[in-house]
């Protein structure tokens, strides 16, 4: 049972990602990618990590993809009229994907994933997860967060533009 | 009767109760808002339909349903159709984890007054509130109108910014209650509500929630006198109605989250728990309306400045201070 | 301190709205509760009669010319006694802006404004008033005024018999 759901979800995630990288319209691509994240979140849930599943939805589907959308909208990346307003049949994959994800969610809600064969042999409660993250692998986590900080500072530096940088150095004419 | 049948029936009854309560609550919230705003501006508010205007929500619904359903010719039809649904459904789903009363005894068994007591209820709430952004965004984008697009861009950046401070304001609550489950959080407040134990978190959460609900003073996504109606400019009829109802359901949900996380949920003297819960939710909803009647709209740069430079750092400091105090009070065991 | 001022100002704003909520609304509940208009309120236009019962209007077209929205139209005619009147007189109240220019222009005080402000219909065509709808049985705001006692000499009144009029001078006997 759980194994079947796992394979359905994996297929859904793969299909969604495939659709995402082949769309011309970036907003449609984002929608497919969000479906992929949903499928991934459910897979994490099956694997016994509800906290990671929740973060997959909150951070990836809820924040990062929204930021993608924000950039797409700000830059008006949508191609011309032809790509606008596709008919219902072009959205069939989305309906299929969201339908299968919803069905899997319902199945997972009724059947305990820990039970049946193929289920995970451990279950990471938020507490375990926290201990793992900040005790066992604290050094790795800190290094990764520093990496992110470097990236943020670098992006800030690049984003300031040549002119302001020159002014900051003091060699503005 | 077999055990599973009783469980299913109980869940369905609870679902129906919550659904009915939320929808009528949202409808009458609209009426209450119009009445209260009227009184604040020395008007009566709607009082024509039925006694004291009590049938006004019905009249509004009839009007919305019979209106012409307009779809812009250049719109992305599928997304245009589905966006209001996302907005309303994400709002409705959130209530599944809200405990609205102490467990009661029915047919000789303990029935918790919550549809689904998830052990990660707080995260469920955060997840759905971040998904609610999609309804607004995709609706605005699919309309293919500049006002709708501007509105949804504003909604996007505003919701993301304030979700951050909202999430950070919940962290101290989770630290103090030592649980992600909303029922446990309510039980942890049996003595003193967290609003008194940690007022900075309460205030930050209140302001962020106000911004999450996209209402005055944070109603930039639909700022009427700048961008027509923002993300729902092109919507009409019942699709607009869904956005509208979704907004008010959202207000009720966010009020109940404030109640559950900071005001001690159903805990209170004398009155039964469920009454206390609805009284508190009503008070916070009134606070929303009161704020709408009082404050002017923020400018966009003020909004971003307030969110990122004041609320988020304050919330971060609050997390660290709360954690430090908790660590001092009961040192870690292992 | 600035923050203190801000908090105080916000609290004050909340207090004011809360206080207003418990004050009596100023709304006049219209269909049940009607407001008494002022005496010189400018609303629905009427055509008045002189104290003797005759129509005051002499169809001079001055009101029609003065009307900024061109809502007054009429057709002039002359009675057998030489007195002018309007065969038809029409005011389109869907266009009227109740500015009162017509009453100012009227030389015979025929066209006047009343305080009847309840002019709204479901069918706009019923707001086009004909002469029969406009004429009232009274002198309106000028109860004693009759244009033909002061003017219209030689038409309806014989020469030299009007009020404030001396008998016509004999040109020949006036010679020195």
> Known binding site: residues of C?
57, 60, 63, 67, 96, 99, 102, 106
Query: A147 pLDDT exceeds 90?
Result: yes
- pLDDT the model gives residue C152: 66
Q: In which band, very low, low, confident or very high, does the pLDDT at A171 lie, cut at 50, 70 and 90? A: low
> Which of A29, A62, A93, A130 best tests the B interface by mutation, with the highest count of B CBs <10 A?
A62
Residues on chain B touching C23 (C-beta within 8 angstroms)? 42
Residues A118 and A59 in one domain: yes
Enter the DSSP assignment of A61: I
- Report CB contact under 8 Å: B40, C20: yes
Residues A39 and A88 in one domain: yes
- Is residue A130 included in any domain, yes or no? no
- Is residue A37 included in any domain, yes or no? yes
- pLDDT the model gives residue A82: 45
Closest CA to C23 of A169, B155, B38, B75: B38
> Which of A30, A55, A56, A58 best tests the B interface by mutation, with the highest count of B CBs <10 A?
A58
- Is residue A129 included in any domain, yes or no? no
C-alpha–C-alpha distance, residues B300 and B227, integer Å: 13
The domain of C129 spans 44-139
- Is residue C126 included in any domain, yes or no? yes
Q: Report the CATH number that the domain containing residue C68 is assigned in CATH.
A: 3.30.70.3270
- pLDDT the model gives residue A115: 47
- Report CB contact under 8 Å: B39, C20: yes
Residues A114 and A148 in one domain: no
Query: C153 pLDDT exceeds 80?
Result: no
Q: Which residues of chain B have pLDDT under 70?
A: 1, 106-109, 332-334
Residues on chain A touching B159 (C-beta within 8 angstroms)? 66
If phi > 0 it is left, if psi is from -120 to 50 it is alpha, else beta; for residue A161 that is: left
What own/partner pairs with CB < 8 Å and gap ≥ 24 does B275-283 have?
B277/B100, B277/B101, B278/B100, B281/B252, B281/B255, B281/B256, B282/B255
Residues A141 and A86 in one domain: no
Q: Is pLDDT larger for residue A106 or for residue A155?
A: A155
Q: How far is A10 from chain B (nearest CA, A)?
A: 21
> Known binding site for [4Fe-4S] cluster: residues of C?
57, 60, 63, 67, 96, 99, 102, 106
Residues A18 and A90 in one domain: yes
C-alpha–C-alpha distance, residues A166 and C15, integer Å: 52
Residues A117 and A154 in one domain: no
Q: How far is B59 from chain A (nearest CA, A)?
A: 33
Mean pLDDT value of segment C147-153 = 73
- Is residue C103 included in any domain, yes or no? yes
Q: How many other CB atoms are found less than 10 A from the CB of residue B207?
A: 22
Residues A14 and A78 in one domain: yes
- pLDDT the model gives residue A150: 93
Identify the residue whose tokens are 């819960």. Answer: B277
Q: How far is B160 from chain A (nearest CA, A)?
A: 7
If phi > 0 it is left, if psi is from -120 to 50 it is alpha, else beta; for residue B110 that is: beta
Chains C and A touch (3+ CB pairs under 8 A): no
Residues on chain C touching B38 (C-beta within 8 angstroms)? 25
Q: Please tell me which of the candidates A50, A61, A66 has its beta carbon nearest to residue B160.
A: A66
Residues on chain C touching B41 (C-beta within 8 angstroms)? 20
- Report CB contact under 8 Å: B130, A66: yes
- Is residue C64 included in any domain, yes or no? yes
A partners (3+ CB pairs within 8 A) are B
Whether the CB-CB separation of A43 and A10 falls below 8 Å is answered with yes
Residues A142 and A80 in one domain: no
- Report CB contact under 8 Å: C29, B40: no
- Is residue C14 included in any domain, yes or no? no
> Which of A73, A74, A85 best tests the B interface by mutation, with the highest count of B CBs <10 A?
A85
Q: Please tell me which of the candidates B43, B44, B293 has its beta carbon nearest to residue C17.
A: B293
Residues on chain A touching B135 (C-beta within 8 angstroms)? none
Residues A13 and A48 in one domain: yes
Closest CA to B86 of B267, B242, B280: B242
> Which of B85, B122, B143, B156 best tests the A interface by mutation, with the highest count of A CBs <10 A?
B156
Per-window interface: B 175-194 vs A, CB < 8 A: 180
- pLDDT the model gives residue A146: 92
Q: How far is CA C12 from the centre of its chain?
A: 48
Residues A92 and A155 in one domain: no
- Report CB contact under 8 Å: B130, A50: no
Query: C154 pLDDT exceeds 70?
Result: no
For residue C131, give both structure tokens: 């002469």
Q: Please tell me which of the candidates C14, C26, C27 has its beta carbon nearest to residue B290.
A: C14
Mean pLDDT value of segment A80-103 = 68
Residues on chain C touching B305 (C-beta within 8 angstroms)? none
Q: How many other CB atoms are found less than 10 A from the CB of residue C176?
A: 2
- Report CB contact under 8 Å: B156, A73: yes
- Report CB contact under 8 Å: B123, A81: no
- Is residue A132 included in any domain, yes or no? no
- Report CB contact under 8 Å: B290, C18: yes
For residue B232, give both structure tokens: 């729902």
- Is residue C66 included in any domain, yes or no? yes
Sign of CA dihedral B221, B225, B227, B230: positive
Residues A170 and A109 in one domain: no
Q: Give, to the nearest 10 degrees, the angle between helix A92-110 and helix A2-22.
A: 160
For residue C146, give both structure tokens: 């009759």
- Is residue C115 included in any domain, yes or no? yes
Predicted TM-score (pTM) of this structure: 0.77
Measured between CA atoms, the residue of chain C closest to residue B286 is C18
With vertex at residue A29, the alpha carbon angle to CA A25 and CA A30, rounded to the nearest 5 degrees, is 120
Query: pLDDT tens digits for C16-60?
Result: 888 888 888 888 888 888 888 888 888 888 998 888 888 888 888
C-alpha–C-alpha distance, residues C46 and C133, integer Å: 8
Enter the DSSP assignment of A58: I
DSSP E strands in chain A: the ranges are none
* B130 touching A (Cβ < 8 Å): yes
Query: pLDDT tens digits for C50-92?
Result: 888 888 888 889 999 999 999 999 998 888 877 888 899 999 9
Q: How many residues does chain B have?
A: 334
Q: How far is A90 from chain B (nearest CA, A)?
A: 9
How many C-alpha atoms does B92 have within 13 Å on its Cβ side? 21
How many C-alpha atoms does A156 have within 13 Å on its Cβ side? 6
ipTM: 0.76
Query: C5 pLDDT exceeds 80?
Result: yes
- Report CB contact under 8 Å: B141, A87: no
Q: Please tell me which of the candidates B74, B78, B163 has its beta carbon nearest to residue A88.
A: B78
- Is residue A142 included in any domain, yes or no? yes
Using only the alpha carbons of chain A, give its radius of gyration: 21
Domains of chain C: total: 1
C-alpha–C-alpha distance, residues C73 and C43, integer Å: 18
For residue C98, give both structure tokens: 């109740």
Mean pLDDT value of segment C87-103 = 90
The domain of A173 spans 137-173
C-alpha–C-alpha distance, residues C141 and C160, integer Å: 29
- pLDDT the model gives residue C68: 92
- Is residue A15 included in any domain, yes or no? yes
- Report CB contact under 8 Å: B131, A74: no
Residues on chain C touching B44 (C-beta within 8 angstroms)? 25, 27, 29
Domains of chain A: total: 2
């Amino acid at each position: 049972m759980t194994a079947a759901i796992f394979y359905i979800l994996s297929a859904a995630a793969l299909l969604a990602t495939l659709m995402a990288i082949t769309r011309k319209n970036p907003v449609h691509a984002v929608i497919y990618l969000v479906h992929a994240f949903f499928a991934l979140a459910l897979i994490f849930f099956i694997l016994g990590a509800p906290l990671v599943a929740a973060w997959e939805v909150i951070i990836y589907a809820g924040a990062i993809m929204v930021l993608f959308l924000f950039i797409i909208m700000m830059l008006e990346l949508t191609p011309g009229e032809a790509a606008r307003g596709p008919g219902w049949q072009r959205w069939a994959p989305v309906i299929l994907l969201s339908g299968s994800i919803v069905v899997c969610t319902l199945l997972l809600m009724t059947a305990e994933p820990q039970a049946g064969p193929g289920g995970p042999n451990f279950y990471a409660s938020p507490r375990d997860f926290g201990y793992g993250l900040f005790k066992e692998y604290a050094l790795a986590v800190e290094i990764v967060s520093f990496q992110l900080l470097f990236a943020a500072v670098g992006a800030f530096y690049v984003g300031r533009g040549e002119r302001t940088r020159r002014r900051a150095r003091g060699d503005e004419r | 009767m077999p055990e599973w049948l009783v469980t299913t029936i109980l869940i369905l009854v609870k679902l129906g109760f919550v659904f009915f309560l939320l929808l009528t609550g949202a409808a009458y919230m609209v009426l209450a808002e119009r009445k209260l705003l009227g009184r604040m501006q020395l008007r009566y508010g709607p009082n024509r339909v039925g006694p004291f205007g009590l049938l006004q929500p019905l009249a509004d619904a009839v009007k919305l349903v019979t209106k012409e359903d307009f779809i812009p010719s250049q719109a992305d039809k599928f997304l245009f159709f589905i966006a209001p649904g996302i907005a309303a459904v994400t709002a409705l789903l959130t209530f599944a984890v809200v405990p609205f009363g102490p467990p009661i005894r029915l047919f000789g068994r303990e029935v918790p007054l919550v549809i689904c007591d998830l052990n990660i209820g707080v995260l469920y709430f955060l997840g759905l509130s971040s998904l609610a952004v999609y309804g607004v965004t995709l609706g605005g984008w699919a309309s293919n109108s500049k006002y709708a697009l501007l509105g949804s861009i504003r909604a996007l950046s505003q919701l993301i910014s304030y979700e951050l401070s909202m999430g950070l304001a919940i962290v101290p609550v989770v630290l103090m209650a030592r649980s992600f489950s909303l029922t446990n959080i309510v039980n942890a407040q049996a003595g003193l509500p967290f609003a008194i134990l940690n007022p900075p978190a309460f205030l930050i959460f209140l302001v962020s929630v106000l911004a999450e609900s996209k209402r005055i003073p944070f109603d930039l996504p639909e700022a009427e006198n700048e961008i027509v109606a923002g993300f729902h400019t092109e919507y009409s009829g019942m699709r607009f109605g869904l956005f509208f109802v979704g907004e008010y359901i959202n207000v009720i949900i966010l009020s109940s989250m404030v109640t559950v996380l900071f005001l001690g949920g159903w805990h209170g003297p004398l009155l039964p728990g469920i009454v206390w819960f609805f009284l508190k939710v009503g008070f916070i909803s009134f606070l929303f309306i009161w704020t709408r009647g009082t404050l002017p709209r923020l400018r966009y740069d003020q909004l971003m400045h307030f969110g990122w430079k004041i609320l988020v750092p304050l919330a971060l400091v609050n997390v660290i201070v709360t954690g430090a105090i908790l660590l001092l009070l009961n040192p870690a065991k292992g | 301190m600035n923050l203190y001022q801000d908090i105080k100002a916000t609290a004050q704003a909340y207090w004011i709205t809360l206080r207003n909520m418990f004050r009596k609304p100023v709304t006049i509940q219209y269909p049940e509760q009607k407001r008494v208009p002022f005496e010189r309120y400018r609303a629905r236009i009427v055509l008045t009669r002189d104290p003797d019962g005759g129509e005051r209007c002499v169809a001079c077209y001055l009101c029609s010319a003065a009307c900024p929205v061109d809502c007054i139209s009429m057709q002039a005619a002359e009675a057998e006694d030489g007195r002018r009147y309007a065969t038809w007189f029409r005011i389109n109240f869907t266009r009227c802006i109740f500015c009162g220019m017509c009453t100012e222009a009227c030389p015979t005080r025929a066209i006047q404004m009343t305080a009847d402000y309840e002019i709204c219909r479901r069918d706009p065509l019923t707001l086009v008033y004909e002469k029969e709808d406009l004429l009232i049985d009274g002198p309106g705001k000028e109860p004693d005024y009759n244009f033909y006692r002061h003017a219209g000499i030689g038409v309806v009144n014989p020469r030299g018999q009007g009020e404030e009029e001396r008998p016509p001078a004999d040109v020949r006997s006036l010679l020195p």
